[in-house]
Amino acid sequence: MLTLFKFLSRCPLWILHGMGWVVGWVSYLFSASYRKRFRANVAQAGVSSSTSQAAVAHAGRMLMELPYLWMRPTGPGAQLPLLWEGQGLIEAAHAQGKGVVLMTPHMGCFEVTAQGYAQRFAQALAPITVLYRPARKAWLRPLVDTSRERPGLFAVPANLSGVRLMIRALRRGETVGLLPDQVPPSGMGVWAPFFGKPAYTMTLAARLVQQTGAVPLLIWGERLPWGRGYTIRVSAFIEPIPPPTATSEQAADVINRAMERLIQQCPQQYLWSYDRYKTAPAIAAEAAAETAAETAAENAAETAAESSVPAADKG
């Protein structure tokens, strides 16, 4: 599979996006569970039929552009084909001497926003630290863990250690990025409306702003037609994030409404197949499975370490 990723990373973006159109529709047509969740989510948000059809293809493009983004060579000759809109907001935020929290939903090419920031602003202003969830597939984990990091771009896992690193980065006046519409682990979120339906929503996004005084901004990467690249669009929050005295639910409400307004700008590029409305039992079961997997990995590592100790040393 890694060999396939390397091969695809050398393909022009327009070819990958063309293949993505096929992959998107094959996934939609041949997976009943995928199709059911997709239809339920677009119906909940009131998305039109023509827009939802376009979103099917964009979901496939989102997948097929990953080899290009993850395994593209670094260096001056390998820069992303980007346009910018609203980049002055980032410059103005850093001019205040504070950190910046960039928030993007599962919309357009969210992978390109962090890489685009690093390409344009890391040297001139500050590096960026992004939050990611380690891949569940063992073969994919080494690729995901290393490929997101680029010059001026650092990836940290979605756990307590990663959160601490993000807070430290903000207190140094740097930038962090995360997806506030990502369903958090059990115990790290609250229930708040998302397109009129309760969704388990992370509290981290608001806490980062509240605890550090960083400037929150919205950002997303619009996928341009025919593989011409991306336009990164930056905008300010219409509603300010509530102060620390507000409840977590109030802060999550504000952020979810901001995500909704952003998604409504280009609903055909939102990932409507994302399981945004996971139930409480499903979230708890997922957390238990992840804990069990981590424990098993730690036990295996300890066993391997013990077996490598010579018999004479064990005595």
Q: pLDDT value at position 14?
A: 95
In a domain, 232, yes or no: yes
For the cut 80, the answer to whether the pLDDT of residue 77 exceeds it is: no
In a domain, 64, yes or no: no
Q: pLDDT value at position 39?
A: 96
Q: pLDDT value at position 215?
A: 96
Mean pLDDT of 76-98: 89
Nearest to 160 by CA among 181, 183, 187: 187
- pTM to 2 decimal places: 0.88
Q: Write out the chain in H/E/C secondary structure.
A: CHHHHHHHHCCCHHHHHHHHHHHHHHHHHHCHHHHHHHHHHHHHHCCCHHHHHHHHHHHHHHHHCHHHHHHCCCCHHHCCCEEEECHHHHHHHHHCCCCEEEECCCEECHHHHHHHHHHHHCCCCCCEEEEECCCCCCCCHHHHHHHCCECCEEEEECCHHHHHHHHHHHHCCCEEEECCCCCCCCCCEEEEEECCEEEEEECHHHHHHHHHCCEEEEEEEEECHHHCCEEEEEEECCCCCCCCCCCHHHHHHHHHHHHHHHHHHCHHHECCCCCCCCCHHHHHHHHHHHHHHHHHHHHHHHHHHHHCCCHHHHC
Q: pLDDT value at position 36?
A: 96
Mean pLDDT of 38-49: 96
Between 252 and 147, residue with greater pLDDT: 252
Q: pLDDT value at position 3?
A: 77
Q: Express as a percent the part of the chain with pLDDT over 70.
A: 84
Between 76 and 54, residue with greater pLDDT: 54
In a domain, 288, yes or no: no
Q: pLDDT value at position 159?
A: 82
Q: Express as a percent the part of the chain with pLDDT over 90.
A: 67
**Structural domains in the chain (count):** 1
In a domain, 53, yes or no: no
In a domain, 306, yes or no: no
What average pLDDT is seen over the chain?
87
Q: pLDDT value at position 298?
A: 47
Are 44 and 195 in contact by the 8 Å Cβ rule? The answer is: yes
In a domain, 13, yes or no: no
For the cut 70, the answer to whether the pLDDT of residue 302 exceeds it is: no
Mean pLDDT of 138-148: 63
In a domain, 44, yes or no: no
In a domain, 252, yes or no: yes
Alpha-carbon distance of 142 to 65, in angstroms, equals 18
Range of the domain at 170: 80-279
For the cut 70, the answer to whether the pLDDT of residue 89 exceeds it is: yes
